[in-house]
Amino acid sequence: MRVLVVGGGGREHALCWKIKASPLCDALLCAPGNPGIAEVATCVPVGAEDIDGLVKLAQDERIDFVVVGPEAPLVAGLVDRLSAAGIKSFGPTKTAAQLEGSKGFTKDLLAKYNIPTGAYGRFKDAASAKKFIAEKGAPIVVKADGLAAGKGVILCQTVNEANDAIDSIMTARAFGAAGNEVVVEEFLYGEEASFFVLVDGKTALPLAAAQDHKAVGDGDTGPNTGGMGAYSPTPVVDAAMHARIMREIVAPTVDGMAKEGTPFKGVLFVGLMIGEDGPKVIEFNARFGDPECEVLMMRLKSDLLPALIATADGQLSNFDLRWHDQVALTVIMAAEGYPGTPRKGTVIAGLNDAAKIEGAMIFHAGTKDDGGKIVANGGRVLAVTAVGKTVREAQTRAYQAVDKVKWPEGFCRRDIGWRAVAREKA
Ligand code: AMP
Ligand code: GLY
Question: The domain that contains 298 carries what CATH number?
Answer: 3.30.470.20
Q: Let me know if residue 409 belongs to a domain.
A: yes
C-alpha to C-alpha distance for 362 and 385, rounded to whole angstroms: 6
Q: Let me know if residue 243 belongs to a domain.
A: yes
**Where in the sequence is the domain holding 353, given as residue range(s)?**
327-425
Question: Tell me, what CATH number does 75's domain have?
Answer: 3.40.50.20
pLDDT of residue 346: 98
- The sign of the dihedral angle between the CA atoms of 99, 101, 107, 111 is negative
Percent of the chain with pLDDT over 90: 89
* Average pLDDT score over residue span 98-106: 91
C-alpha to C-alpha distance for 230 and 383, rounded to whole angstroms: 10
Picking from 186, 209, 243, the residue at the C-terminal end of a domain is: 186
pLDDT of residue 170: 87
**Between 10-20 and 304-313, two packed helices, what is the crossing angle to 10 degrees?**
100
Domains contained in the chain, number: 4
Using a 6 Å cutoff on CB, does residue 393 contact ligand 1?
no
Give the distance (Å) from ligand 1 centre to CA of residue 272: 9
Together in a domain, 204 and 298: yes
Give the distance (Å) from ligand 2 centre to CA of residue 126: 28
Q: Let me know if residue 64 belongs to a domain.
A: yes
pLDDT of residue 6: 98
pLDDT of residue 151: 74
Using a 6 Å cutoff on CB, does residue 187 contact ligand 1?
yes
What single letter denotes the amino acid at residue 42? T
pLDDT at 150 over 70: no
Using a 6 Å cutoff on CB, does residue 153 contact ligand 1?
yes
- Mutate-to-test residue for ligand 2 from 11, 99, 269, highest number of ligand atoms within 8 A of CB: 269
Atom from ligand 2 closest to the CA of residue 11? 4
C-alpha to C-alpha distance for 211 and 227, rounded to whole angstroms: 10
Give the distance (Å) from ligand 1 centre to CA of residue 153: 7
pLDDT band of 104, cuts 50, 70, 90: confident
- Give the closest residue to 13 by CA, choosing from 34, 32, 27, 44: 34
pLDDT of residue 166: 92
Q: Let me know if residue 148 belongs to a domain.
A: yes
Picking from 91, 109, 141, the residue at the C-terminal end of a domain is: 91
Together in a domain, 298 and 355: no
C-alpha to C-alpha distance for 77 and 61, rounded to whole angstroms: 20
Atom from ligand 1 closest to the CA of residue 143? 3
C-alpha to C-alpha distance for 240 and 277, rounded to whole angstroms: 14
pTM: 0.95
pLDDT band of 181, cuts 50, 70, 90: confident
- Mutate-to-test residue for ligand 2 from 268, 270, 285, highest number of ligand atoms within 8 A of CB: 285
Q: Let me know if residue 334 belongs to a domain.
A: yes
Together in a domain, 15 and 62: yes
Give the distance (Å) from ligand 2 centre to CA of residue 127: 32
Using one digit for the tens of pLDDT, what is the confidence trace for 374-384?
A: 999 999 999 99
Together in a domain, 198 and 182: no
pLDDT of residue 113: 98
Q: Which residues line ligand 2 (CB under 6 A)?
A: 212, 226-227, 285, 289-290, 292
Which are the contacts of 243, defined by CB distance < 8 A and separation ≥ 6? Answer: none
pLDDT of residue 217: 97
Together in a domain, 133 and 157: yes
Atom from ligand 1 closest to the CA of residue 271? 4
Together in a domain, 175 and 284: no
Please, which contacts does 404-408 make with residues 24 or more away whose CB atoms are closer than 8 Å? 404/350, 404/353, 404/354, 404/356, 404/357, 405/333, 405/348, 405/349, 405/350, 405/351, 405/354, 405/362, 406/348, 406/349, 406/350, 407/333, 407/346, 407/347, 407/348, 407/349, 407/350, 407/376, 407/381, 408/346
pLDDT of residue 423: 85
* Average pLDDT score over residue span 362-366: 98
Together in a domain, 175 and 203: no
- Mutate-to-test residue for ligand 2 from 212, 332, 385, highest number of ligand atoms within 8 A of CB: 212
pLDDT at 305 over 90: yes
Question: Tell me, what CATH number does 414's domain have?
Answer: 3.90.600.10
Q: Let me know if residue 73 belongs to a domain.
A: yes
Using one digit for the tens of pLDDT, what is the confidence trace for 29-88?
A: 999 999 999 999 999 999 999 999 999 999 999 999 999 999 999 999 999 999 999 999
Cis ω for the linkage preceding 32 (within 30 of 0): yes
Together in a domain, 202 and 291: yes
pLDDT of residue 178: 76
Helices (H), 196-323: 239-245, 251-259, 292-299, 304-313
SS3 category, 8:
coil
Do residues 58 and 4 lie in contact, with contact meaning Cβ atoms separated by under 8 Å?
A: yes
Q: Which residues pair with 267 in a beta bridge?
A: 198
Picking from 71, 91, 111, the residue at the C-terminal end of a domain is: 91
C-alpha to C-alpha distance for 13 and 235, rounded to whole angstroms: 26
Together in a domain, 205 and 304: yes
Give the distance (Å) from ligand 1 centre to CA of residue 325: 30
Q: Which residue has a Cα nearest atom 10 of ligand 1?
A: 214
C-alpha to C-alpha distance for 137 and 160, rounded to whole angstroms: 10
Together in a domain, 124 and 208: no
> What single DSSP character describes residue 340?
S
Together in a domain, 305 and 198: yes
Element (H, E) at 198: strand 191-200
Which are the contacts of 380, defined by CB distance < 8 A and separation ≥ 6? Answer: 9, 10, 225, 226, 227, 228, 290, 291, 332, 333, 334, 338, 365, 366
* Average pLDDT score over residue span 317-323: 93
* Average pLDDT score over residue span 113-124: 94
Q: Which residue has a Cα nearest atom 5 of ligand 2?
A: 289
* Average pLDDT score over residue span 183-211: 96
Q: Let me know if residue 364 belongs to a domain.
A: yes
- Mutate-to-test residue for ligand 2 from 143, 147, 194, highest number of ligand atoms within 8 A of CB: 194
For the chain, the average pLDDT equals 95
pLDDT band of 176, cuts 50, 70, 90: confident
Q: Which residue has a Cα nearest atom 2 of ligand 2?
A: 289
Together in a domain, 147 and 81: no
